[in-house]
Structure 1
């Protein structure tokens, strides 16, 4: 492989916490001689022995980095699930889809590249009333995603499969992670569970599977070190119902019709408190289960945390929350119960600047 004594690994998306921690752990471990971390902004926090290169993967300069550094393994972690950090949905789509296309084009041209590991997500299966109890890796979503993060991921996976056909000499491993959860994770689902009052969809109790943040880092490292190709669902054992999860948080739930939860979501999003996309709403309504047999039998990975343990670790460090979202939800409850047609919404959080 790459240089004497170990492989040279390029990791995208190192400005975010999980990407930074993964790159740092990989650089500190055996079997890897160098780790190059790439992102548009420098990571906040300690990167250890990682060489950081400030670069945008949408830009062809990424090919020069791969060639110059003699990279043999690429770990793609910069697919993002929320538009918030990127400046809107279009920027998010461009970073996700165009970024992946450029990265794969660079890998395709580089004879040194022998391994590609892509962090994907079980969101690619969608969530609907017609879903199977457990999605296996060879199953398609019941409804092709028309927009948002799920559509980005479906396109990205398509490009990755195309790359694998064009470079059959490269080992390609795609990890479809369940919702990653843990004390340090900020995502649409953790923001939802951090609300002091949790809106739920009336008449539904979604099944959920989680992957602990440490297991995500471990399974990525396992995929780098293990010569196994293919697509794998990755999730902690077992399923947690949404109602059980909320009870374990000891927070009040407010069951509402789906349209009302959608309205709450818009309000919370504009107040920058939680990101409610249509796919998040579907997930909170129907949930999702994935079969992890291949993860164990073929990839040879066993998560340290079950779904329930991963959730418990996330919940254990939740700080007491202020009254801001109570105000938002109280305003919405008044708005939704107002008998005389739609009222103009009150300005939410105006006193918070």
Structure 2
């Protein structure tokens, strides 16, 4: 009796640490094709890897050649990267192209990585934000418009094409070895800025747990929008203390002053919109994802902070 065909999966954002961890977990049971528009990465002789812009015609050739069963879209550009126009072209137009091709070529599972930042940081946020909460970020800053539009676009396809079985994941702060976002940069430094008078509660998820969550989503059958977060949280200043960071208090006004100090700390990739996330808590409710996919983080906050305490400037 012939062996059953292994699923063929397209993973975008292959140059990122998260994508590579996901690929590492799936490569034994699936045939992976890796894509990144920034650079081509070598992931082993068994994994074809390409550097392709989603908006180029050659991208469709991959769908013709490999007949993908699933797409795991981890290639969202963060607001600390690239210009606003380039982010829009990649995050919105590129994702639309990806979803159109997925529908055209009969892909049966699509996973899209979003971010909890789409909720926006405002003083009137509820204590726990569930998936039904409005996405306020676009009204607060232009730097998150493309992230919100990406989500709105994915939501349209979620309901228009149920055969795609789209799952949209909104994780909290992803941190850990190899992560190069703004939060990881702060926790890995010897000193970190804090806004005077503010220490909002924050959530952190280890990159290994986030990779586990994505793999669980691939194996699961549920579709929809899901927050991904542990059930605990900690005050920002306490997190810095546990990571061994000395604190540099700065006034929250005028707005230009915090940004100037951040530049002095060589945090040039620190997006200005994050200042509000260091004022107001944005705590997301991850219970729906935990229940629907059987997810429970294996790495505690102590594990996360121990890593940063023992590995200063790890990225």
Give the structure-2-normalised TM-score: 0.90
Residue aligning to 1:117: 111
* Structure 1 residue ranges without an equivalent (≥5): 322-353
Say if 1:126 and 1:143, in contact at 8 Å, map to a contact too: yes
Does residue 103 (structure 1) correspond to residue 134 (structure 2)? The answer is no
Task: Specify which of 86, 92, 102 is matched with residue 91 of structure 1.
Answer: 86
In 2, the alpha carbon distance for the partners of 1:23 and 1:262 equals: 41
In 1, the alpha carbon distance for the partners of 2:266 and 2:8 equals: 39
Q: How far did 1:312 drift?
A: 3.1
In the comparison of the two structures, how many residue pairs are matched?
Answer: 313
Q: How far did 1:319 drift?
A: 4.5
Residues 152-231 of structure 1: pairs in structure 2 closer than 5 A: 152-231=146-225
Residue aligning to 1:21: 21
Measured at CA, do residues 25 and 145 of structure 1 come closer, stay the same or move farther in structure 2, by a change above 3 Å? farther
CA-to-aligned-CA distance 1:255-292 (integer Å, 9 cap, x gap): 22213675343454487534332321011111310111
Residue aligning to 1:62: 59
Say if 2:185 and 2:313, in contact at 8 Å, map to a contact too: no
* Corresponding residue SS for 1:169: helix
Q: How far did 1:129 drift?
A: 0.7
Q: How far did 1:108 drift?
A: 2.2
Say if 1:295 and 1:302, in contact at 8 Å, map to a contact too: no
Between 1 and 2, higher relative CO (CA 8 Å, sep ≥ 6) is seen in 2
Q: How far did 1:238 drift?
A: 0.5
Q: How far did 1:25 drift?
A: 2.8
Say if 1:199 and 1:261, in contact at 8 Å, map to a contact too: no
RMSD (Å) for aligned C-alpha atoms: 2.4
Measured at CA, do residues 293 and 162 of structure 1 come closer, stay the same or move farther in structure 2, by a change above 3 Å? same
Residues 39-78 of structure 1: pairs in structure 2 closer than 5 A: 39-44=36-41, 46-47=43-44, 49-78=46-75
Give the structure-1-normalised TM-score: 0.81
Say if 2:193 and 2:262, in contact at 8 Å, map to a contact too: no
Does residue 36 (structure 1) correspond to residue 60 (structure 2)? The answer is no
Residue aligning to 2:294: 300
Say if 1:238 and 1:308, in contact at 8 Å, map to a contact too: no
In 2, the alpha carbon distance for the partners of 1:282 and 1:239 equals: 18
* Corresponding residue SS for 1:286: coil
Measured at CA, do residues 317 and 136 of structure 1 come closer, stay the same or move farther in structure 2, by a change above 3 Å? same
